[in-house]
Structure 1
C-alpha cells in the first residue's frame, strides 16, 4: 500500500483563512443579533445570516480540507457570494471588521484554486465507466 500524497500547503492556508473568517462572521453575527439598545431589524437579520453563513463556511472548509472536490467548489462559490455581501455590508455600516473578513474569505478562495492545490484534488484513478 502506498502512502497518500501529503496535503499541499495551499490547502492548509485556505482552510485556516476560511476558518478564521467563519469564526469572525459568527462572532460578528452574535454581536449584531444580541445588541443592546435599539438596533434596526435589518442588522439583527443580517447577524443571523452571518451566523448561519459562518457555520456553513466552516463545515465546507473542513470537508474541502479532507480532499473532497465537491466541497471545495461549494466553498469557493460560497466565498464569492459572501464577498459580494460583505462588501455591501461593509459599505453600509462603515465597518472595517467586515473588510477584514472579506479579505480572509477572498484569500481562502484564491489560494484553494491555485494549481498546486487543484492537482491534489484530482483523483489518481479515473472513474470506471458503467458498462
Structure 2
C-alpha cells in the first residue's frame, strides 16, 4: 500500500461493519452487566466478555484502517472467534441483536479478505515481491 493509493471501497465497508459490530457488542455487554433485572452470573460474565471484545475489535479496526496487515489479520481472527461465540450465545438467549452482530462481523471478515482488499494491504516495495 502506498500513501497516495486510495482505500478500496470493500475495505471501507468492512471497517464500518466492524465498527458497527463493536458498538453493538459494547452496548449489549453494558446492558447485560448493568441490568437491574435478575440476570444469571453467566450472562453478566458474557456481558463483560462482549465489552472487552468490542473494545478490542474497535482497536484492531482502527489500526487496520491505516493499512497495517497484521492488525487486519488479527481482526479477522477475532471475527471468526466472535462468530462462533455469538452463534452459541444467540442460541442460548434467543436474542436477535446477537445475530445482527454476527452478520456484521462475518461480512466484514469476508470483505477484507477479498483480492482487492488484500492487494491494498500488501506493500508494493516488499522483499517478497522481488523473488
**2:24 matched to which residue of 1?**
24
Cα distance in 1 for partners of 2:108, 2:82 equals 12
Q: CA RMSD in A?
A: 1.3
Cα distance in 2 for partners of 1:96, 1:27 equals 14
How far is the alpha carbon of 1:65 from its aligned partner?
0.9
- The total of aligned residue pairs comes to 127
Give yes or no for the alignment of 1:73 onto 2:53.
no
SS in 2 for 1:37: coil
* 1:68-104 C-alpha deviation (Å, 9 max, x unpaired): 0000000000000000000000000000000000000
**2:116 matched to which residue of 1?**
116
Give yes or no for the alignment of 1:44 onto 2:44.
yes
Cα distance in 1 for partners of 2:32, 2:15 equals 25
How far is the alpha carbon of 1:3 from its aligned partner?
6.1
Cα distance in 1 for partners of 2:126, 2:118 equals 16
How far is the alpha carbon of 1:4 from its aligned partner?
1.3
**1:100 matched to which residue of 2?**
100
SS in 2 for 1:67: coil
Cα distance in 1 for partners of 2:79, 2:72 equals 10
**1:85 matched to which residue of 2?**
85
Cα distance in 1 for partners of 2:17, 2:48 equals 21
| Structure 1 outlier segments of 4+, above 3 Å | none
